[in-house]
Structure formats: C-alpha cells, structure tokens
Homo-oligomer: A and B are copies of this chain.
Amino acid sequence: MDKVQAIFKSTLRLIHQFGFHGTPMSQIAKHADVAIGTIYHYFESKDELIFALFKYCKKEVAEYIFKDDSIEKEFKERFFALWLNFVRFYIDNPEYLSFLDQFYSSPYLQQALTNETICGQDHVSAFLHEGVNAGAVKNLDTNILSVVFIGTAVSTVKRHLHSLHQFDKKSLNHIIEVIWDGIKK
C-alpha cells in the first residue's frame, strides 16, 4: 500500500530526527501527507505502528545484507561481504539504525522479544553456525561469534555516524581482518 509506505517513511525520518517522544502522530500524518485518521485506519495504535515498522525495518535490513550471499562462495568471502553489507546498509540508511536502536533500548523490546528474531541477528547466527560446521571458524558458541560480528559492526556504524571517525574501505577491511583473525580456525 502506498499510504502505509508513506507512513513508515515519515515515521522513520521523524524518529531519526526527533526521537520517539519527539514525533507525535500528528507530525507523522502531516509528513506522510495523510490524515491522522488514515494512520488509525491501518494501525490500531501508535504502538502497533511502531511494532509494524520494526518488522518492516528488520525485513529490509535482512534483505539487503544477504542480497548477494550464496552457499557456493567460500565462507571467508561471504563473511567479509556480509559484515560489510551490514555496515554499509546502516551508514547509508542511518534512520534505520536510529529507529532500531531506540526500539531496542526502550521497553518496546520486551514486548517484541518473544521468539521473534531481532534485526536479522538470527540469520546471521545461522550463517556463523555454518562457518563452524564447515570448519572455517573456531568451534565457539554461536552467541560468541554473533557478539563479535554484530558488536563490531554496530559499533563501527555508530562511530561513523556520530562523526567520531570516518572509516574508509581500507579501515573497514582492517576491522574485518581483525575479527577474522580472532575467529578463524
């Protein structure tokens, strides 16, 4: 639906810019160029909208990260590509990180944390598990590998976005190499 898309984009942009408690429904409606009533036509409440947006974001992120992945390729190559895609997506779409971050660090998370996946981390976990099975990486708990993969990626993006440091391609490769050195068999 066109209007739903507009509502999502509007919400994403406003939350990025003004935060959760800085983006009232009225503004979301205005920037999406729809009436307030229209939002309530598609979403039961503001919370429902937030949760729906959460799912939407997760899906978008996952699709991008794994867009060129293939079991055919060598694991190391896939590992590098995935990590870079992860970083690339959020650097290019900071409003996604902004929103997901605020979502994660808010009480919303507890409601979303059922068996639901978070931010494509499960896909990533599965991928890392493959690496263990294939004998490409050390036989470590997937949680540990996830922590290393996602933790460094998220940290890198934030450092970049907060303008603390602009990482170039070479720098990014240095980081992956460090991680890879740490987990490779």
Binding site for B on A (CB under 8 A): 17-22, 98, 101-102, 104-109, 113, 118, 138, 140-141, 143-144, 146-148, 150-156, 158-159, 162-165, 167, 171, 174-175, 177-183
A45 to B18, CA, bound (A): 18
In angstroms, how far is the closest chain B Cβ from the Cβ of A29? 15
- Answer whether A156 and B147 are a contact pair too, CB < 8 Å, given A98-B105, A171-B141: yes
Which residues of chain B have C-beta atoms less than 8 A from A183's C-beta? 178, 182
Pick from B21, B104, B148, B162: contact of A178, CB under 8 Å: B148
Residue of B nearest to A151 (CB): B155
Query: Given A17-B107, A140-B174, list of 18 further CB < 8 A pairs?
Result: A19-B20, A20-B106, A21-B21, A22-B107, A98-B105, A101-B101, A102-B105, A104-B105, A109-B162, A113-B162, A141-B165, A141-B174, A147-B152, A151-B154, A152-B152, A177-B182, A179-B182, A181-B182
Question: Would you call B174 and A144 a contact (CB within 8 A)?
Answer: yes
Residue of B nearest to A149 (CB): B155
Question: Would you call B19 and A107 a contact (CB within 8 A)?
Answer: yes
Question: Would you call B105 and A179 a contact (CB within 8 A)?
Answer: no
Per DSSP, are chain A's interface residues mostly helix, strand or loop, or mixed?
helix
Pick from B105, B148, B156, B165: contact of A105, CB under 8 Å: B105
Residue of B nearest to A138 (CB): B178
Residue of B nearest to A145 (CB): B178
In angstroms, how far is the closest chain B Cβ from the Cβ of A144? 5
In angstroms, how far is the closest chain B Cβ from the Cβ of A104? 8
- Answer whether A143 and B162 are a contact pair too, CB < 8 Å, given A17-B107, A106-B102, A182-B179: no
A104, A141, A144 — most chain B CB neighbours (10 Å): A144
- Answer whether A179 and B148 are a contact pair too, CB < 8 Å, given A102-B102, A141-B171: yes
